[in-house]
Amino acid sequence: MDTAVTLRCGGRMPLIGLGCWQSPPDQVTQAVEAALDAGYRHIDTAYNYLNEEAVGAGIRNWLEKTGKSRGEIFVLPMIGMYEGGVEKFLKKSLEKLQLGYVDLYLVHAPIGMKGKDDNDVFPMVDGKLNLDYATDLIAVWKEMEKMKTLGLARSIGVSNFSVKQLRKIWRRRQGPALRPQVELHAHFQQPDMQEFCKSHNIAITAYAPLGSPGRRQMAQLRFSQAVPELLEDPVVRLVAERQGVTAAQVLLRFLVQQGLIAIPKSVTPSRIAANFDVWNFSLTDTEMAALRSLDKGPSGRSFTTKMSDHPEFDME
Ligand SMILES: NC(=O)C1=CN([C@@H]2O[C@H](COP(=O)(O)OP(=O)(O)OC[C@H]3O[C@@H](n4cnc5c(N)ncnc54)[C@H](OP(=O)(O)O)[C@@H]3O)[C@@H](O)[C@H]2O)C=CC1
Ligand SMILES: O=C1CO[C@H](CO)[C@@H](O)[C@@H]1O
């Protein structure tokens, strides 16, 4: 199977990337190098993961070690949620990563926040996130388009947008590009989002492809919310046993076999390698159907938020 997807706007995007959220800075440099050694050419990173220097060091070490060119790697930092913030934060990310451009830059979320300074990535006031209620998605998108014109981002996209918000940007965009990144895995398959993107030939990137076990612990602690454990799902385990692969490989193959891009996070070298090793087996139609039937709709989300008083809040 092809390990990358061809995009309608030209170019190709690797189907498996390395996620970097919650990867400690003292482990992520090695994780990035292990991923590039294993064949990854797509790294998902963000300003507010507070580890971009260490991610950039991993990329540089690998380039020096192998003599390969920069053009072989996909790097995706994200943040730019308010008018005026896009160019400023992209340049900050580039400085931290020590790169001249990124292959894809995403608006991290449709909801802006107001920090007291640039390091205040989760600004709190009176115990609540300090939201920017004036978020103007079209104005932000126009600035994103400028990043492409300036050559600082080869392509641009959005994250955590609903189908309605995607449509809004789709209608107003200049040129064909728009690459969404959303939570998507066997327990939360977002059929409407998939249908919209398929009908416009848009490639989706699925975050939390393993159900985000780390987030699950946080969600349960913070919100007393019972988030199902995807890696332990009996159907997933049965398919894994039949195929002689791991549960994680089944979940990733389920996504890439549908043409979805997946960005599993790991700092464990053996898992990093195994998560990329999904090209030598294929799931049968019956197995695909069994996995499709695991969709729990919105109750299968691992990522929920309490920002419901913001005008751009659009989650079931
Ligand atoms: N745009 C956005 O708002 C968001 C983007 N993302 C991006 O998506 C990435 C992936 O999502 P994430 O929430 O990290 O969740 P994932 O579904 O990728 O799960 C990551 C967790 O699974 C563990 N893990 C990885 N591989 C295996 C394996 N083979 N077997 C068992 N456990 C495994 C990791 O542990 P360990 O590291 O210890 O191996 C880690 O705890 C993020 O890192 C981030 O880059 C995520 C959330 C939101
Ligand atoms: O991408 C991310 C992962 O999820 C977090 C929420 O728990 C976000 O805050 C962060 O920006």
DSSP string, 92-110: HHHHHHT-S-EEEEEE--S
pLDDT of residue 176: 64
Is the distance from the beta carbon of residue 209 to the nearest atom of ligand 1 less than 6 Å?
A: yes
Class of domain 4-300: alpha beta
pLDDT of residue 306: 78
- Position with higher pLDDT, 91 vs 224: 91
User: Mind listing the pLDDT tens digit for each residue in 56-98?
Assistant: 999 999 999 999 998 888 887 766 677 778 999 999 999 999 9
Say how many Å lie between the CA of residue 126 and the centre of ligand 1.
30
User: Mind listing the pLDDT tens digit for each residue in 161-217?
Assistant: 999 999 999 998 887 678 899 999 999 999 999 999 999 999 999 999 999 987 766
In this prediction, residues 98-112 reach a mean pLDDT of: 93
Say how many Å lie between the CA of residue 85 and the centre of ligand 1.
27
| Residue 200 annotated in ligand binding | no
Closest atom, ligand 2, to C-alpha of 48: 11
CA 41 to centroid of chain Cα atoms = 14
Is the distance from the beta carbon of residue 186 to the nearest atom of ligand 1 less than 6 Å?
A: no
pLDDT of residue 282: 98
Give percent of the chain with pLDDT exceeding 70. 93
Instruction: Flag whether the ipTM exceeds 0.95.
Output: yes
Sign of CA dihedral 27, 29, 30, 32: positive
CA 171 to centroid of chain Cα atoms = 23
Say how many Å lie between the CA of residue 240 and the centre of ligand 1.
19
* Predicted confidence (pLDDT) at residue 227 exceeds the cutoff of 80: no
Q: Any idea where the domains of the chain sit in the sequence?
A: 4-300
In this prediction, residues 100-112 reach a mean pLDDT of: 92
pLDDT of residue 115: 87
pLDDT of residue 11: 78
- Position with higher pLDDT, 102 vs 7: 102
Is the distance from the beta carbon of residue 263 to the nearest atom of ligand 1 less than 6 Å?
A: yes
Mutate which of 161, 205, 210 for ligand 1? The one with the most ligand atoms within 8 Å of its CB, which is 210
Give percent of the chain with pLDDT exceeding 90. 73
User: Using CA atoms, how far apart are residues 124 and 128, in angstroms rounded to an integer?
Assistant: 5
Torsion region of 286: left, alpha or beta (phi above 0 gives left; psi -120 to 50 gives alpha): alpha
CA 270 to centroid of chain Cα atoms = 21
Say how many Å lie between the CA of residue 259 and the centre of ligand 1.
19
User: Using CA atoms, how far apart are residues 116 and 65, in angstroms rounded to an integer?
Assistant: 40
* Annotated catalytic residue within 49, 82, 105, 207: 49
Mutate which of 48, 121, 217, 302 for ligand 2? The one with the most ligand atoms within 8 Å of its CB, which is 48
Catalytic residue list contains 49:
yes
β-strand pairing of 128-129 with 124-125: antiparallel
- Position with higher pLDDT, 292 vs 7: 292
Closest atom, ligand 2, to C-alpha of 22: 3
pLDDT of residue 221: 61
Whose C-alpha lies nearest to ligand 2, atom 6? 303
Q: Return mean pLDDT, the chain.
A: 91
